[in-house]
A and B are shown apart, each in its own frame.
Chain A
Amino acid sequence: MQHAKNLSEYNKELREALDNTFLRGAMDKFATAYPVGRANAFSGYDIDSLVQEVVQSKDAAIGQLDTLYADFKAKAEANGVHVHLAKTGDEANEIIARIAKDNGCKKIVKSKSMTAEETLLNHRLEEDGLEITETDLGEWIIQLRHEGPSHMVMPAIHLSRYQVAELFSQVTQQDQSSDIQRLVKVARRELRQKYADADMGISGANFAIAETGTIGIVTNEGNARLVTTLPRVHVALAGIEKLCSTLEDALKSLRVLTKNATGQALTSYVTWISGANECQTGPNGKKEMHIVFLDNGRSELAKDPLFSQVLRCVRCGACANVCPVYRMVGGHQMGHIYIGAIGLILTYFFHGKEKAKNLVQNCINCEACKHICAAGIDLPRLIKEIHARILDEDGHPLPSLLLAKLMKNRKLFHSFLRMAQTAQRPLTGGTQYIRHLPQIFAKDHGFKALPAIAAKPFRDRFAELKPHVAAPRYRIALFSGCVQDFVYPEQLEAALKVLAAHDVDVDFPMDQSCCGLPLQMMGEKKACADVASQNIAAMAGEYDYIITLCASCASHLTHNYPFLLGEHDSSAKAFAAKVLPFSAFLVDVLGVDADKFTQNHDRATLHAPCHLCRGMGVVEQPRKLLTIGGYEYAPADQEQVCCGFGGTYSAKFPGISEEILKHKLTDAGRTGADVLVTECPGCIMQLRGGAEKNKAGFEVRHIAEVLADHLKK
């Protein structure tokens, strides 16, 4: 749950989480085990088409929630079920409290429902003196600890067996060993008594099928079966977005849900309840059954052209499983009640701006969530969009405003960078790194050596460096991005050599500026769109391709420009279609050959930049290039996991950035490579800074540089 009032308080909480060794170990194990399990579960399936089926069926349902609700209600009521619609969380809680009162219920057993977490149902029912027991093992544990879940599927993943043993010792007033199998048995027995005593069962629902008035509940423990069977009253609480037309729709989601959530082909139990079933202790031998649908802003969301996709979520939790930030700090810091990337978004809509304002800044924009999502939700974009909305509502902070002003004006921005070059001299001691940080930055930011701004930017040297190509095969424009232009001009210089050796004529349009991604990360959407227009105009010459050596620029130019400038801006689309990352151009267009490079088989490993492997779908090309370029490619574990940079992210959340970086350097070091190669100056800034500070024993270089090194004269 979020209580931090500002970013600095939030950072303090993050620090505590980072210092929690058990949590870190548990998260690490999970982060490495999850992708393997998931891949097994999906083996033999075309994941993309399964996800597309979910997208289509969910979108169709979201477009007709009113009709589906009416159909469902009619079917279910014809079979003895009472169906309710609650506008708000409080209303849902009141309805359920009233059902308990009307039926004289005293003791409630509950199976897992994130929706009930959303409405804080237990608190409300406890006010009426009702005894509520969560029966999902993880939920029971956190209920006893008075905590919220730290994962949507594994709510107690942040706790150790020792903590659980201590807790169960208190509950049973008996000493409990920390043997997990025995602890589970204790829970089995203690909870069985609760089922026997309960007169009301509360469950969630994963599906509500309008065609038949059926609810579907997915569990592994089987607790939902007991909850819906033993007590004489059953109340199911579900968001209205759980409504779907047919069983076919439900099965489409089910197929992806369990595989994506836990790497299971199917959970142990899937329960389909159609109507009020036999219940020997119920009135007339029938169950008193109620279904409460919760709106709580969902029907408004359904009308929003961009945000309606949020309602596709099947609550598999995968966006947390692959999030590098979640891995570092766990769910209590990466959500309020809903966890992970989707949690950041839902917090804003269900629990308000105050709870969401710090959270939405804690997205490193690596896009891992977007690519794992069971329902194809563009999570990072929505998170950025909410950040921008909050800034628009609350006012933009000064640094963000200044950055926006500065970057909208290329000349001003570049003069600023030139001034900074002069101003940094006392700090660099004449090296490539800023050796001494001013005190205000020193505390949390000292984990990597920061690069110095180059003596002369690339743009000032382009005229002298531009090679003459007699018979060009292609004419391209180089888009440098600001980091390479002003910090790492040598990477562009290396690229010029490689491109000239392959008869490519290169131009460097001088009016190009920063791609604008930092503005987007700061939530400055308007300035970001202005910069996009300027760059499109600057790069408008007769070029076959626009090539960039920066993965983040490539992805931003390709995907965000058309979005920022609107679907109908054809110039943005035409521009975006010409953009290619350096390695993709070399392999896919030029078809570079090993003959051009010295083959000495130096060992090299790769870091796949987020915006290259996921953003641009370029995965194999850098690997091939290393081999073609005469290197021995030694794959590192977690090659495609973020380096922890995230542009302005690393400045905002230095503690997390540092820990993600450590993992990366360790994995790279294990390969025994002499050089860690990547294709994004941002990643290089992070990785090289970390390698320098930690004496990692390998170099960090751009792929253009290692290729230029091996270019035969």
Chain B
Amino acid sequence: MGTTPEMLEKFRTKAKAVSATVVEISSMAQAIAYTVDLCISKDACQLLMSGCEESLSDKGKDLCELKEWNKIIAAPRLSDADMAELVAQARDRQVAVIKDGLRNHLAGIDIGFTVADHGIAETGTLVLDSSSEELRLATMISEIHVCVIHTSRIHPSAESMYGQLKTYMNTKPNYLAFVTGASRTADIERVLALGVHGPLELHILILEDN
């Protein structure tokens, strides 16, 4: 059973409802171009790591100064061909691409670029096998997380994909992430704020592959 247009529409609606940006693309090359463009066009204030423009304690500032002031895209688990494409496109625009060593960039990276393993239409959720520590960090310490999802990988609900989910859980060890929108909090006066610990923005690129 493939992904129906209704499921796709639901996925899109639900993801947007949690402030994700949802874009249709037709190829990985296009996804990569989108990501590099996004990195270039990032707001000047976001050139600084989010938070570094605020008044911080001396300890807090230390980490900000560690940041190298050129822009970085982290793409830990891309296929060789896609990685080559990303590096080629990024090099022309003076954007650095890394695939490992993310612990050296805890202060933050501009974009984490990933490909989702599955999507859940009911809640607009991305499912990422995050057993690789580099992948985990790329989706946590980046200011923007850009994630490609193939339409064929979208399921109606978590309940409709028990088999797949259990396969991950039985592949020990495993770290499986459901990601629904950007990192958020409402802990101060119940006012919504995005990007409290993880990404400030989530961009979902839907790649038609049916």
Chain A residues close to B by CB (< 8 Å): 26, 29-30, 33, 78-80, 135-138, 141, 154-157, 159-161, 164, 171-176, 180-193, 195-196, 209, 211-214, 220-223, 225-226, 228-230, 247-248, 251, 254, 262, 264-281, 286
Q: Chain A residues near B56 (CB, 8 Å)?
A: 172, 174, 186, 189-190
Residue of A220, A226, A268, A281 contacting most chain B CB atoms (<10 Å): A268
Chain B residues close to A by CB (< 8 Å): 14, 17-18, 49-57, 59-60, 62-64, 103, 106-108, 122-125, 131-133, 136-137, 140-141, 158-159, 162, 165-166, 168-191, 193, 195-199
Q: A78-B172, A225-B136 are in contact. Are A181 and B193 (CB under 8 A)?
A: yes
16 A-B residue pairs with CB within 8 Å: A26-B189, A155-B187, A157-B190, A160-B189, A164-B188, A214-B169, A221-B198, A222-B196, A222-B198, A228-B175, A248-B159, A267-B180, A269-B183, A273-B175, A277-B133, A278-B133
Q: B196 near A229 (CB under 8 angstroms)? A: no
Q: A137-B187, A222-B183, A272-B169 are in contact. Are A189 and B133 (CB under 8 A)?
A: no
CB proximity of B180 to chain A, nearest CB, Å: 5
CB proximity of B75 to chain A, nearest CB, Å: 18
CB proximity of B46 to chain A, nearest CB, Å: 11
Contact of B183 among A155, A156, A221 (CB under 8 A): A221
Q: A137-B196, A209-B169, A225-B177 are in contact. Are A278 and B59 (CB under 8 A)?
A: no
Q: Chain A residues near B106 (CB, 8 Å)?
A: 192, 195-196, 230
Q: A212-B166, A265-B123, A270-B178 are in contact. Are A188 and B197 (CB under 8 A)?
A: yes
* Assembled-state Cα–Cα distance A229/B177 (Å): 12
Residue of A154, A181, A223, A270 contacting most chain B CB atoms (<10 Å): A270
**Smallest Cβ-Cβ distance to B195: which chain A residue:** A188
Q: A222-B196, A247-B162 are in contact. Are A174 and B55 (CB under 8 A)?
A: yes
Q: Chain B residues near A279 (CB, 8 Å)?
A: 133
* Assembled-state Cα–Cα distance A265/B132 (Å): 27
CB proximity of B99 to chain A, nearest CB, Å: 14
Q: A186-B55, A192-B106, A221-B198 are in contact. Are A180 and B189 (CB under 8 A)?
A: yes
Q: Chain B residues near A156 (CB, 8 Å)?
A: 187-188
Q: A268 near B62 (CB under 8 angstroms)? A: no
Contact of B57 among A171, A180, A247, A273 (CB under 8 A): A171
Q: A212-B166, A247-B165 are in contact. Are A188 and B196 (CB under 8 A)?
A: yes
* Assembled-state Cα–Cα distance A214/B187 (Å): 28
Q: Chain A residues near B175 (CB, 8 Å)?
A: 228-229, 271-274, 277
CB proximity of A131 to chain B, nearest CB, Å: 12
* Assembled-state Cα–Cα distance A264/B124 (Å): 12
**Smallest Cβ-Cβ distance to B139: which chain A residue:** A225
* Assembled-state Cα–Cα distance A137/B186 (Å): 9
* Assembled-state Cα–Cα distance A155/B198 (Å): 20
Q: Chain A residues near B52 (CB, 8 Å)?
A: 189
CB proximity of A259 to chain B, nearest CB, Å: 10
Q: A172-B56, A180-B191 are in contact. Are A247 and B169 (CB under 8 A)?
A: yes
Q: A268 near B183 (CB under 8 angstroms)? A: yes
Q: Chain B residues near A274 (CB, 8 Å)?
A: 168-176
**Smallest Cβ-Cβ distance to A287: which chain B residue:** B173
Besides A189-B56, A247-B166, 18 new A-B residue pairs in contact (Cβ under 8 A), listed by A number:
A80-B173, A180-B191, A185-B51, A189-B51, A189-B63, A195-B106, A220-B184, A221-B197, A222-B183, A222-B198, A222-B199, A226-B141, A247-B169, A266-B123, A267-B180, A277-B174, A277-B175, A278-B133
Q: A188-B50, A189-B60, A189-B64 are in contact. Are A225 and B140 (CB under 8 A)?
A: yes
Q: B173 near A277 (CB under 8 angstroms)? A: yes
* Assembled-state Cα–Cα distance A156/B185 (Å): 12
Contact of B162 among A78, A138, A248 (CB under 8 A): A248
* Assembled-state Cα–Cα distance A176/B14 (Å): 36
Q: Chain B residues near A280 (CB, 8 Å)?
A: 103, 133
Q: Chain B residues near A138 (CB, 8 Å)?
A: 185, 187-188
* Assembled-state Cα–Cα distance A222/B198 (Å): 6
**Smallest Cβ-Cβ distance to A33: which chain B residue:** B190
* Assembled-state Cα–Cα distance A190/B56 (Å): 7
* Assembled-state Cα–Cα distance A209/B197 (Å): 27
Q: A212 near B187 (CB under 8 angstroms)? A: no
6 nearest A-B residue pairs (beta carbon): A275-B173, A189-B51, A222-B198, A174-B55, A138-B187, A270-B178
* Assembled-state Cα–Cα distance A181/B52 (Å): 13
CB proximity of A163 to chain B, nearest CB, Å: 9
**Smallest Cβ-Cβ distance to A80: which chain B residue:** B173
Q: B54 near A193 (CB under 8 angstroms)? A: no
* Assembled-state Cα–Cα distance A272/B165 (Å): 10
* Assembled-state Cα–Cα distance A495/B123 (Å): 51
Q: A30 near B184 (CB under 8 angstroms)? A: no
Q: Chain B residues near A184 (CB, 8 Å)?
A: 185, 188, 193, 195-196
Q: B188 near A183 (CB under 8 angstroms)? A: yes
Q: Chain B residues near A183 (CB, 8 Å)?
A: 188
* Assembled-state Cα–Cα distance A59/B133 (Å): 37
Residue of A184, A187, A247 contacting most chain B CB atoms (<10 Å): A184
Q: B169 near A269 (CB under 8 angstroms)? A: no
CB proximity of A419 to chain B, nearest CB, Å: 53
Q: Chain B residues near A193 (CB, 8 Å)?
A: 59-60, 62-63
Q: A157-B190, A192-B106, A269-B179 are in contact. Are A185 and B50 (CB under 8 A)?
A: yes
Q: A180 near B177 (CB under 8 angstroms)? A: no
Q: A196 near B63 (CB under 8 angstroms)? A: yes
Q: B54 near A185 (CB under 8 angstroms)? A: yes
**Smallest Cβ-Cβ distance to A79: which chain B residue:** B172
CB proximity of B199 to chain A, nearest CB, Å: 8
* Assembled-state Cα–Cα distance A26/B191 (Å): 11
Q: B14 near A30 (CB under 8 angstroms)? A: no
Q: Chain B residues near A268 (CB, 8 Å)?
A: 18, 179-184, 198
Q: B131 near A30 (CB under 8 angstroms)? A: no
Q: Chain A residues near B141 (CB, 8 Å)?
A: 192, 226
* Assembled-state Cα–Cα distance A286/B166 (Å): 22
Q: B197 near A191 (CB under 8 angstroms)? A: yes
* Assembled-state Cα–Cα distance A185/B55 (Å): 10
CB proximity of A378 to chain B, nearest CB, Å: 28
**Smallest Cβ-Cβ distance to B186: which chain A residue:** A154
**Smallest Cβ-Cβ distance to A34: which chain B residue:** B190
CB proximity of B129 to chain A, nearest CB, Å: 10
* Assembled-state Cα–Cα distance A229/B138 (Å): 12
Q: Chain B residues near A265 (CB, 8 Å)?
A: 14, 17-18, 122-124, 180
* Assembled-state Cα–Cα distance A196/B169 (Å): 28
Q: Chain A residues near B131 (CB, 8 Å)?
A: 277-278
**Smallest Cβ-Cβ distance to A248: which chain B residue:** B162
Residue of A29, A181, A228, A254 contacting most chain B CB atoms (<10 Å): A181
* Assembled-state Cα–Cα distance A183/B56 (Å): 11
* Assembled-state Cα–Cα distance A196/B66 (Å): 12
Q: A185-B51, A222-B140 are in contact. Are A272 and B174 (CB under 8 A)?
A: yes
**Smallest Cβ-Cβ distance to A272: which chain B residue:** B176
Q: Chain B residues near A220 (CB, 8 Å)?
A: 183-186
CB proximity of A583 to chain B, nearest CB, Å: 37
Q: Chain B residues near A189 (CB, 8 Å)?
A: 49-52, 54, 56, 60, 63-64
* Assembled-state Cα–Cα distance A228/B130 (Å): 12
Q: Chain A residues near B137 (CB, 8 Å)?
A: 229
Q: Chain B residues near A174 (CB, 8 Å)?
A: 55-57
* Assembled-state Cα–Cα distance A230/B179 (Å): 19
Q: Chain A residues near B177 (CB, 8 Å)?
A: 225, 269-272
**Smallest Cβ-Cβ distance to A142: which chain B residue:** B187
Q: Chain A residues near B191 (CB, 8 Å)?
A: 161, 180
Q: Chain B residues near A175 (CB, 8 Å)?
A: 55
Q: B196 near A221 (CB under 8 angstroms)? A: yes
Q: B64 near A276 (CB under 8 angstroms)? A: no
Q: A269 near B133 (CB under 8 angstroms)? A: no
**Smallest Cβ-Cβ distance to A25: which chain B residue:** B189
**Smallest Cβ-Cβ distance to A187: which chain B residue:** B196
CB proximity of A193 to chain B, nearest CB, Å: 5
Q: Chain B residues near A182 (CB, 8 Å)?
A: 54
